[in-house]
Structure 1
């Protein structure tokens, strides 16, 4: 038995959830997949999977083996690639995680270009507003909005996320647009995004000509999902401090209207982060270079 082949089969069974799906994606007979996993278990003298008629689940030993095997096979793939000229043609699975607004508005529409350049890379994309643990979740790299505080990660700055105050036309028609940020605390509802790290609302601070105003709102709605915050604003429930990646197309379509355009809201850095491996994967390197190039030419960055 080629143990590395068996390990790859085991990983695919875990990721797909069934032997049948794993065999289909690997283009192998189901009996072959089953036999390889069974022989791997026999060789390790431990049970890796619990089998039912509909699905397989991972045992505690299997979960620990999966985590180590993912890293081991990634290192092996990187070693093989470095010996076979893959530096100019990287290949294999690349697991990335993105904030939903950037995934939807910036990265996803441009991915055909990335895959045209690197057709041998297989993407696995996660999109969420909650930062993932790159080590625990076996993610190769992630894009983060805000200051990166995790010292265990390498962070490369790729751009800025700018913000603007906006609400739906119906909301402005009903409540009127403020002429000064202080009016928002007297007369308006503010939809605040909650930080996944602190469980507190992100501050909204507006500045102009040396004057700074903290905006809270007469009434508040709290939400832990950026997309939902934007949807709530679109329905006319209040004002959001929205990232221009997401708000610009909604303003262009007339679903949202901005206010206090002369007041500045502090931008937040956008970074790509990855574990500090001694030799960065070629897949991560080309994706990082590509996404930096993507952000550099994006309209939202031209004023930064």
Structure 2
């Protein structure tokens, strides 16, 4: 007995409540449908259908088996469709959300190369520094720089998000370099107002314990690139990711302090809504970004 064919025959009969209609839907002979269902009942050792000359209905065992059988066939169809999608070339519209600084500096150049590789993909990129609601706002994927909480979304790590405390050589020459996080209380610090605790900078002690420090300063900006400019002009110490200041650290325009105390617990991740099958286009984008950035991103190689 072909059990899969028998399963499809039984489900078709149960749904149509007719051997004749089920045979037409399956495009096989009525006798073949009847034989498959009978063979299935024999194999199971249970009657699945009440048959009379005028009606056909499910037995109690038939109802229970029908519920399981429909789920099995649906899962099989989904699996077949998923394999087909894996073979499909990426195409269609891709809505992406990304933070401003990372979007300008690194994601846009990557997307240009991604679109050159996949000419049938259309990209709609929205850059802002808030956490968008992917499902309600219709985004396919978001790039997030955070320690991500548990959620119904799926996240894939693209790269580490290393942070540094940095300042210009002129500032450090005038004010000295802090030797411990507590020394920051006597320094001028620059704040990112997008952060929930902008004036509380997180550090770790030599034994790994959290060491938050409240810092002071006169300038608060809601953009990391603007903070970089202020740091370059000697206005104070900034707490910034290396994807913004990596080239400045290489050139010597900025220098880091307190390296052994800075907490490194953030990642750059691609986040997408939970679904049973990731679309080929989203999968291709995420694979491309992992390859592009990776565990040792190019902006850290200059630091």
Question: With structure 2 as the length reference, what TM-score do the two structures score?
Answer: 0.63
Q: In the alignment, what sits opposite 2:249?
A: 251
Q: In the alignment, what sits opposite 2:148?
A: 148
The 1-side partners of 2:131 and 2:231 are apart by 24
The 2-side partners of 1:293 and 1:135 are apart by 26
Structure 1 unpaired stretches of 5+: 1-80
> How far 1:121 moved relative to its partner?
0.6
* 1:164–1:265 contact (8 Å) kept in structure 2: no
Residues 253-272 of structure 1 correspond to what in structure 2 (within 5 A)? 253-272=251-270
The 1-side partners of 2:82 and 2:217 are apart by 58
1:105 aligns with 2:102: no
The 1-side partners of 2:249 and 2:119 are apart by 35
Q: In the alignment, what sits opposite 1:283?
A: 281
1:118 aligns with 2:118: yes
Residues 132-143 of structure 1 correspond to what in structure 2 (within 5 A)? 132-143=132-143
The 2-side partners of 1:122 and 1:291 are apart by 17
Q: From 227, 231, 236, give the equivalent of 2:234.
A: 236
Relative to 1, partners in 2 of residues 1:87 and 1:231: Cα closer, same or farther, differing over 3 Å?
farther
> How far 1:112 moved relative to its partner?
3.5
The 1-side partners of 2:125 and 2:194 are apart by 22
Q: In the alignment, what sits opposite 1:193?
A: 192
Question: With structure 1 as the length reference, what TM-score do the two structures score?
Answer: 0.63
> How far 1:235 moved relative to its partner?
2.8
Q: Deviations over 1:244-292 (max 9, x none)?
A: 1111112223432212334343230221111113332211111111112
> How far 1:182 moved relative to its partner?
1.7
CA RMSD of aligned residues (A): 2.9
The 2-side partners of 1:140 and 1:195 are apart by 24
* 2:187–2:236 contact (8 Å) kept in structure 1: yes
Relative to 1, partners in 2 of residues 1:202 and 1:289: Cα closer, same or farther, differing over 3 Å?
farther
Relative to 1, partners in 2 of residues 1:179 and 1:148: Cα closer, same or farther, differing over 3 Å?
closer
> How far 1:203 moved relative to its partner?
4.1
Relative to 1, partners in 2 of residues 1:292 and 1:203: Cα closer, same or farther, differing over 3 Å?
farther
Relative to 1, partners in 2 of residues 1:218 and 1:83: Cα closer, same or farther, differing over 3 Å?
closer
The 2-side partners of 1:202 and 1:155 are apart by 29
Q: In the alignment, what sits opposite 2:175?
A: 175
Relative to 1, partners in 2 of residues 1:301 and 1:292: Cα closer, same or farther, differing over 3 Å?
farther
* 1:204–1:265 contact (8 Å) kept in structure 2: no
Relative to 1, partners in 2 of residues 1:100 and 1:87: Cα closer, same or farther, differing over 3 Å?
farther
Task: Kindly tell me the number of residue pairs found equivalent between the two proteins.
Answer: 220
